[in-house]
Structure 1
Amino acid sequence: MKVVEHNLQQLQLLSTLLLQVEPEHYCQIKPWPGQPSVGKHIRHVLDHYQQLQLASHSKQLDYRLRSRDKDVENEPAKALYLIAHLTSWLRNLKTTDLDSTLSYQPAEGVTYTSLQRELDFVASHSVHHLALIHALLEQWDYAWPDSAGVHSSTVEYQKRCAP
């Protein structure tokens, strides 16, 4: 299940980062629009995974109902705990689970989606936020995997174009 593997990779990248980031860097707010911090971005990503996990059971998905847990935003250990929980959920998914139909609540009305499609979305969403996290941490010398913040389709394209 390639989509599950892609999500596991994104969560692993977040874990790798969380295991090395200093607490003061995790919580440091930048004077940019929205006053972002590494912790806020990680909490935001994990909120989306949590909502999708809930929807895999309830069959109703609404990303606007995210928990926005300040503890995850401020404490790397809480984020690591949540990643472990989400990783376990992803590893236990079966191929048949991916076809599950979910009722999706956009801003207006209701539509339908699948767990597979939403897993593709949250993986891409995670890539985007990892790129933003990279920008937030750029001033410090953290080890940063080349694949962090780069979508798998871009990596595949670059491999095809390499000399």
Structure 2
Amino acid sequence: MNNIIESSLLTLQKSKDLLLKLSNEELSDASVSPYYSSIGSHLRHIYDFYYCSLEFNNEGKIDLTSRKRDLTVENCCNSASNYLNKIIESLQAVEGKLTDSIIVIDDLGCGKIEIDYTYSALLAQANSHTIHHYAIIGYILDRLNITFEDSNFGYNPTTPKKERVLVKN
């Protein structure tokens, strides 16, 4: 299996593990300031990015501005798990396309533009994007006093790890 797909599957497995731990109430809790977003809204956003990355429009382009945005994913662990499983199945089927050149449509702040990519570059972006959102989810988990045992959750593999020093009084 290609390293980009393998890395994405490994990263997405973390949210699969997280969904097994959460209740629907914890998934949808949007009480944490300053943004009042929920774990579910971040997971839905991650999954929408992947889903969109795996779907070509009728012009053969991938339009990142045209995402699914199924809001039930934000409130129901089963819906989120089902959506994730579909993404994982689709991701496993694209290995032969990784070197293909593609056109990606996105809005970087000045309106929609078309960008030349390879499929592998888009999947690498999706993986990094996921890790970034895991870091935000990590803050939400902390504020909601939910423990999730994964010391690498939300950390890019290239991030230096800070040694924890326990101070005894």
TM range (shorter): 0.7 to 0.9
TM-score norm. by structure 1 comes to 0.86
SS in 2 for 1:110: strand
- Greater CA radius of gyration, 1 or 2? 2
* One-letter amino acid of the structure 2 residue matched with residue 98 of structure 1: L
Greater relative CO (CA pairs within 8 A, separation 6+):
1
Deviations 1:17-52 (A, max 9, x none): 000112211111135354300000000000000000
* One-letter amino acid of the structure 2 residue matched with residue 126 of structure 1: T
What are structure 2's unaligned runs of at least 5 residues?
162-169
Aligned-pair identity in percent equals 23
| Pair 1:133-2:134 in alignment | no
* One-letter amino acid of the structure 2 residue matched with residue 22 of structure 1: S
In the alignment, what sits opposite 1:35?
A: 36
Change (3 A) 1:63 1:7: same
How many residue pairs align between the two structures?
Answer: 156
Structure 2 CA distance for aligned equivalents of residues 57 and 130 of structure 1: 32
Structure 2 CA distance for aligned equivalents of residues 89 and 122 of structure 1: 14
Structure 1 CA distance for aligned equivalents of residues 17 and 59 of structure 2: 31
Deviations 1:122-154 (A, max 9, x none): 000000111111111113242331111111222
What are structure 1's unaligned runs of at least 5 residues?
159-163
Structure 2 CA distance for aligned equivalents of residues 135 and 151 of structure 1: 15
TM-score norm. by structure 2 comes to 0.83
- Does the aligned pair in 2 maintain the 1:124–1:151 contact within 8 Å? yes
Q: Which has the higher helix share?
A: 1
